[in-house]
Chains A and B, each alone.
Chain A
C-alpha cells in the first residue's frame, strides 16, 4: 500500500490507485470530465492537472498511479490557473443555453465554473456551431454544441456495450461526437450515456423537460426489474418518481443499469397498479378484506400459499411465519420461472432472463422448509385447492390452463391475470414505496428504501401480513422491517450475522452460494396443444 501525499495530507491507498481516487480518500476533490472510474483513462479534458512536488511540469491526476512517496498539490496558484483556463477553453465554444438545457443543475460545466472558473469572459469570437437536437436512439438526444469531447460515451460504446457506435468526428474545434450516417443506437443501455455525459450533450428523452433536477430528492435503492438487482438512485419529488439513476456498486452493476429498468418508472404510479382492496368484486377497505380473508382461511379445508419471487425477503418471511403459526395444514409453494420471451432479451452484461428481483431470496427461504412445493407441483394441485393465497406472483398467468382453485386471495402490486381472478385482493407496496431487502442472482443481500408514499391503499406486504396474522391468532412478528429481517437472518444459515442496518448502501454477500433456483419455466399446461 503506497503512501501518497495530497496537499500535505498523507493517505495509504491500494497499489494501482490513480491520484483522483487517492485524493478523494484524502478528502480532496480533483475536478475532472473525461475520467470515469468504470471506463479506461483518456486523459484529454486536462481538468485534473495537478502540480507534483519536486516535479518539472504539471501532470494529469487520472493517469498518475499512486507510488510510494508521491506528493501532489492541488492548491497552488498554478493549479488554480490551469483549471480556470481549461474552464475558459471548454466554454469558449459552448452555447451557454443553460436556461433551456435539461442538464442544468447537474452539469459539470456549471458546477466547475462556479468552483474553478469564475473569470471575466474574454470570448468575443464567433462560436463554432454544431448540430443540435440529433435523434440518435430511442432514448437519447444528442446536442453536439454542448459537448466537451470528453469521449466518455465513445469509451462506453467501445468498452461496456461493445457496440462502438459513437465516435469523435473531425478535428480541432470542429471535433464533434456523432454516429455513422444513417445509424442509430441499438443497445438497451442508452440511458447510461446520458448519465455519464458530464454536460448536456446527451440527454435522456424520457426525462427531458420533466423536472429540474434541483427539485429532485434521491433515495438509494435497488432496481426491481430483474435478478441482477442493479443499485439505483430513485429520483423523486413530492411523491412522484421521475427517474432511476444507476448507483455505483462495483460488485453488482458498476455504474450502469439497463433501459428496461428505467422503463419501470412510469409503472410506479401507472394505471396498472392495484390501488383498492376488493372482496368478491366489491371495493372495500383493507381491514375488511383482511377480515374476509381470515374467515375464509379458517373455513377452508385445503389451503395453498404461494411465496413470491417479486416480494421482499421480509414479506416472504412474514408469510412463512404466518403459515407456520396459524395454518399448520396449508401447503407452501414457491413460484419461480422466466416469463416467455425473457431469455431472448437477456444479455451477459446486466439484464437477466429472470425478471424477478428476489428469486435467490425466495430460494433461501424455501430451503428452510423442506415441504415447499415447486411451480410444477403447484400446477398440478391448483384445481384441488379450496383457497390459494398468493404473494405478489402472477400465478394464474404463469399457470395458464392448469385449472383454478375454488377461491383465490392475492396480495399484489400490479394488475394481472391473478388480480383479475382474485376473490380477495389486497394492494401492497411497490419497491420504491417501502423498506426491505432482496437477494440478487449473485447472492448479494441488498436494501431497498422507501422513496415515496404508497399509492392508493397499498401497505408493505410484511406489514399487512402481520395484521392478517394478528387476526388469525398469531402475528408473525414482522411489524417492523428491521426486526423481520434480523429474525430471518438468525434463521437462515447463509445470512448468519447479518443485520438490517449493516446492509448499508452496498449490500452484503451471502455466506454460502445461492441455492439452486428451481429450474425451468412454466410447466407445460395440460390443455396446451402443439
Chain B
C-alpha cells in the first residue's frame, strides 16, 4: 500500500548512507530552519505533533524534552542528548535499518533535538553487536562534521553540537535508559533508581534526554511539515508512522513503515504477505518479545496503535517487533527460548528478577523436557506475578509478561504437554497436532490451579 514514508523513504536509494546522496534526498534541509527557531518553539512543535517514543514505552517525546530544567535551574551543568541505538529486543530490528540505510536522517534529528533541549554534546549509544553499523555511523558523523553540520557554529547559526558514537558491550539491559547511562559512564550496565529521572539528573549527573533512533529520525519531517501534518497521519492518540519489524512464519519478513492505527490483520496479510502455504495462525507477539502474546482472534480485532493493542489484547505496541507464530510452533519451546534470553540478560541487580528469571527458565526447561508437573505451572505463574513491577526497571515485567500471557492464553498447550509426559508420550509427538491438545481433559485440581 502507499503510505507516507517518513522514516524509510530513502532506504531504497543506492548509497543512501552517504552524505551526498542523503543531501540529494533532502536530508539536512531542515537543520537551518530548525536552528533559527527558538528551542521552546521546537519543543512545542514536537509536543503538538503527538510524537511518542518509539523505543517501546511510547512516552510523548515533546513532553520528555520539556522536563529538562532551564539554565536558571541547572546552573552551568551541560545537557546531554543520548540516542538509544542499543536495539536488542528479540524480534526488533528496525533501528539497525534506520542506521544502516539512512544514518544522516537520525543525525539531522539529533541536531534539531539538541538545539531544542540546549545540548552541546550528544552520544549515539549503539549495541555492541552492531559493530558494522558503528563504523558506518562514525563515517556519517565525520562527513557531517566536515560539511559543517556538526561541531562549532553549525551552518553559521551560532549553534554548537558535537556528536560521538559509543559502542556498547552487548547487553540487552543497556537499552534501558538509566542502564545505558551507567554503561556510557563506564560503569556496569545496570539501571539506576528513579527518581531522579535522567531529564533532571542523568549522564554524569547532568540533565540528559535519551531518545530512540526512530524517534529522532521522525523529528526532521515534523519540523519541515509541521505538527498538524504529522498528526493527520495515524490515530488521534497515536499519530504518525511507525516501523514494524516483522518476522516469523510469514512470506515476506522485513521492516515496514505503516501509519499507526493500521489493522493488524492487514499488516499480516498484505505487507507480510500472509502465512506460509497451508499454515494457520497460532499466536502473535505484537511489540517485541517482552509484551504479552496475542491469540488469532485478538490479532484480527486489533489495530497497530498503542491504545488498540492494549484494550483489545492487553498487550503493548512496544518497539514494534511483530513476531508471527503459526501452527507448527510449539509454544512451550517458544516460551522456554524467550526465558532463556531473559535468564541470561537480567542485570542481576534486583532480587526478584535476578533469581526469578533463571528459576522460571529452569521450570520451563523441565516442562519442555517432560519432567514437570501441573504444580510447576502454578509456581511459574506465581513467580511471574512476584517479579512483575517489583523491580527497579521494566526488565522484570518484560520477563514476566510473556510467561503470564502464554499461561493465560495458551495454558491448554502447557497442560497437554505435562499430561502427555505423564502418560509417557515422547515430546516429538506433541508438536504434530497441537490443536487436539488445546483443552485436553486434565485433572480438576490442575485445571483450577
Contacts and interface: CB of A to CB of B under 8 A. Distances in A.
Given A172-B343, A172-B346, A125 B352 contact: no
Contacts, number: 89
A384 interface: no
A172 B363 CA distance: 16
A89 B386 contact: yes
A168 B389 contact: no
Given A43-B193, A89-B356, A173-B357, A148 B348 contact: no
B298 to A, nearest CB: 25
Contacts of B355: 89-90, 92-93, 173
Nearest to A150: B351
Interface stretch (A22-30, A44-52, A440-448): A44-52
B392 A43 contact: yes
B351 A171 contact: no
A92 B352 contact: no
B350 A171 contact: no
Nearest to A176: B348
Interface string B345-373: 11111111011111100110000000000
A168 B350 CA distance: 12
A506 B195 CA distance: 34
A167 B345 CA distance: 18
A172 B351 contact: no
Interface string A148-179: 11000000000000000001101111110000
Contacts of B359: 89, 92, 123, 125, 173
B391 A172 contact: no
Contact of A46 (B358, B379, B391): B391
A93 B356 CA distance: 10
A63 B193 contact: yes
Nearest to A122: B379
Interface residues of B, number: 29
A476 B389 CA distance: 69
A173 B343 contact: yes
A72 B171 CA distance: 36
A173 B358 contact: yes
Nearest to A173: B358
Contacts of A175: 348-349, 354
B344 A49 contact: no
Chain B CB within 10 A, most for which of A128, A149, A173: A173
A406 interface: no
A86 B351 contact: yes
A173 B348 contact: yes
B390 A82 contact: yes
A44 B350 contact: yes
Interface string A401-444: 00000000000000000000000000000000000000000000
A82 B351 CA distance: 11
B351 A125 contact: no
Nearest to A151: B349
A42 B193 CA distance: 7
Nearest to B348: A175
B345 A172 contact: yes
Contacts of B344: 171-172
Contacts of B350: 44-46
Contacts of B382: 85
Contact of A85 (B352, B354, B363): B352
A177 to B, nearest CB: 11
B36 interface: no
B348 A174 contact: yes
Contacts of A90: 351, 355
A83 to B, nearest CB: 11
Interface in B322-353: 343-352
A530 interface: no
A180 to B, nearest CB: 13
Interface string A72-96: 0000000001100110111011000
Given A44-B351, A86-B352, A172-B343, A128 B358 contact: yes
A168 B352 contact: no
A518 interface: no
A149 B354 contact: yes
A523 interface: no
Contacts of A128: 358
A2 interface: no
B352 to A, nearest CB: 5
Chain B CB within 10 A, most for which of A42, A149, A171: A171
A93 B44 CA distance: 51
Given A63-B193, A90-B351, A46 B390 contact: yes
A92 B351 CA distance: 11
B188 A168 contact: yes
A41 interface: yes
B296 to A, nearest CB: 32
Given A149-B348, A171-B345, A172-B358, A125 B391 contact: no
Interface in B123-172: 171
The 3 closest A-B pairs by CB, nearest first: A175-B348, A85-B386, A173-B358
Given A44-B351, A85-B352, A171-B173, 6 more contacts: A42-B193, A43-B392, A47-B351, A89-B351, A172-B345, A172-B347
Interface of A: 41-47, 49, 57-58, 63, 81-82, 85-86, 88-90, 92-93, 122-123, 125-126, 128, 148-149, 167-168, 170-175
16 contacts: A46-B391, A58-B390, A82-B386, A89-B351, A89-B352, A89-B359, A89-B386, A92-B359, A125-B359, A125-B363, A126-B362, A128-B358, A170-B348, A172-B357, A173-B348, A174-B348
